[in-house]
Amino acid sequence: MTSASPAATRIPRDGHPVSRKNISDSALTVMSRLRSGGFQAFLVGGAVRDLLLGNHPKDFDVATDATPEEVHELFRNSRVIGRRFRIVHVRFGREIIEVTTFRGHHDNGIDDDDDEESAQQSGNNHSKQSDSGMLLRDNVFGSLEEDAVRRDFTVNALYYCSSDFCVYDYVDGLADLEQHQIRIIGDAEQRYREDPVRMLRAIRFAAKLNFSIAPQTAAPIPELGYMLEAVPAARLFDEMLKLFMTGHALSTFQLLCEYGLLEHLFPATATEMEHSTYAQPLIEAAMRSTDRRIAEEKPVTPAFVLAALLWEPALQMRYDLEDSGQEPMPAIQEAGQTIISEQLHHIAIPRRFTGPMREIWEFQLRLQNRGNKAVSLLSHRRFRAAYDFLLLREEAGEDLDGLGQFWTELQEKHPDIEVDRTSSREDRPRPRRRRRRKRPQ
């Protein structure tokens, strides 16, 4: 069975611009193999939304009535992942097609028993809620119609069937797409309580698509922002990457401030922004520069954005430590360490980024040194990021007595000095060295 129930608005091929030409072959393969196996399969989520808007989808998500295990059986190149929300990743080279089983209503399937084994035995067809209504697990499977209303926003709940070429709309998503509006499905407060990350997603899509957030979808956000503090720090790190590293960091940041969410993600930053003149302009300059680099397809790293977000709190703490008698370098080191440890309670920043953040901060002190040794810093692996950071501080209005100009000229005087490649702002994975097999003698 490939067609949806008549309850949906069904838009035939000549009524919409979604063409198979613009859908990845891997996604088409996944859907056709699922159908051959007797299951339903639809393209859903961001891909349908972006194709309808005439944009290039970032990735392709498929929804099906096959359970994760059934999907896994059909594809050797697949893995069942997640616990809170079990899905299947089907891999084709570097491309991953995310296959989700239709979610159903969880109210009558609530599983109070957190016994992992019983959940496994019953196929994990369970959901689990916290006292505050947060969904700790959402693995109740259902029909296509149920799946549509379990999705977050109407524009994300449009389905495309690659065998009848129709778009299916159960939630008036097409109307919202036309009106450039992010509207949550169902009762906003309840949906945010189930999953507070939806507040961040509302903001992310509004920024990315340049859409407005519908009034009833926006209204509860400032009051429920505190619920983000209950979201696991590792998940918030992943979300943070999507917020700031996908080309719309500046408008996303401004919306986070407007809706009062920044204080629940970066509390020290939010506090410092109230007191310091430079905090917000510096962060905005870093976001603008990151967006520009992404548009130019230049490498970017979250370490740089995070260094900007937490710079002012680290700087203030450094001054406090200096006031109590510490030398500047140990003071910035200790301040950096402390500010990062506090931040880790909220967002789990991996060590591969906290190290570079601290180096960028410490380098700000070293860059103050205009003496004979200055030239030796030019080849340092962190020079480039630290110099870029220095320029942003000046752009944000800090008066550094021409320090940026000094380093710009010094580099011009020494065009021959190679900056160590590892200093680039990119977090390039290290090439993995293959271990040579010993040849049999």
Q: Which does 109 bind (CB under 5 to 8 A by kind): Mg ion, ligand ATP, none?
A: none
Q: Which is nearer to Mg ion, 152 or 312 (CB)?
A: 152
Q: Is 61 one of the catalytic residues?
A: yes
| Residues contacting 243, CB < 8 A, separation 6+ | 200, 203, 204, 249, 252, 253, 256
- Contact between 105 and ligand ATP by CB under 6 A: the answer reads no
Based on the shown chain and the rule CB under 5 A, indicate whether residue 242 belongs to the binding site for Mg ion: no
The yes-or-no answer on residue 238 being catalytic is no
User: Which span sits near Mg ion by CB under 5 A: 23-31, 38-46, 344-352, 432-440?
Assistant: 38-46
Q: Is 319 helix (H, G, I), strand (E, B) or coil?
A: helix
Identify the active-site residue in 59, 172, 388, 427. Answer: 59
Regarding 176 and contact with ligand ATP (CB under 6 A), the answer is no
Output the CA–CA distances (angstroms, integers) from residue 116 to 83, 126, 231, in the order listed. 10, 11, 21
Q: From the list ligand ATP, Mg ion, none, which binds 126 (C-beta under 5 to 8 Å, kind-based)? A: none
Residue 281 touches Mg ion, criterion: CB under 5 A: no
- Let me know how many helices (H) and strands (E) the chain has, helices first: 21, 12
Stretch that binds Mg ion, among 55-63, 215-223, 231-239, 427-435 (CB under 5 A): 55-63
Q: From the centroid of its chain, how far is CA 235?
A: 9
Q: Determine the 3-state secondary structure of 313 from DSSP.
A: helix
What is the closest distance, in whole angstroms, from the C-beta atom of residue 77 to Mg ion in the complex?
19
Applying the rule CB under 6 A, the residues between 25 and 54 that interact with ligand ATP are: 45-46
User: First CA to last CA across the chain, in angstroms?
Assistant: 60
**By CB under 5 A, residue 85 contacts Mg ion:** no
Q: Which is nearer to ligand ATP, 26 or 343 (CB)?
A: 26
DSSP state of 103: B
Residue 111 binds ligand ATP (CB under 6 A): no
Among 212, 158, 152, 208, CA closest to 184: 152
195 binds ligand ATP (CB under 6 A): yes
Annotate 360-401 with DSSP letters as a single string: HHHHHHHTT--STTHHHHTTSTTHHHHHHHHHHHHHTT---T
Judge whether 318 and 277 are in contact, CB under 8 Å. no
- Closer residue to ligand ATP (CB): 87 or 335: 87
Binding stretches for ligand ATP (CB under 6 A): 45-46, 58-59, 61, 151-152, 156-157, 195, 197-198
Q: Catalogue the active-site residues.
A: 59, 61, 152
Contacts with Mg ion by CB under 5 A lie at: 45-46, 59, 61
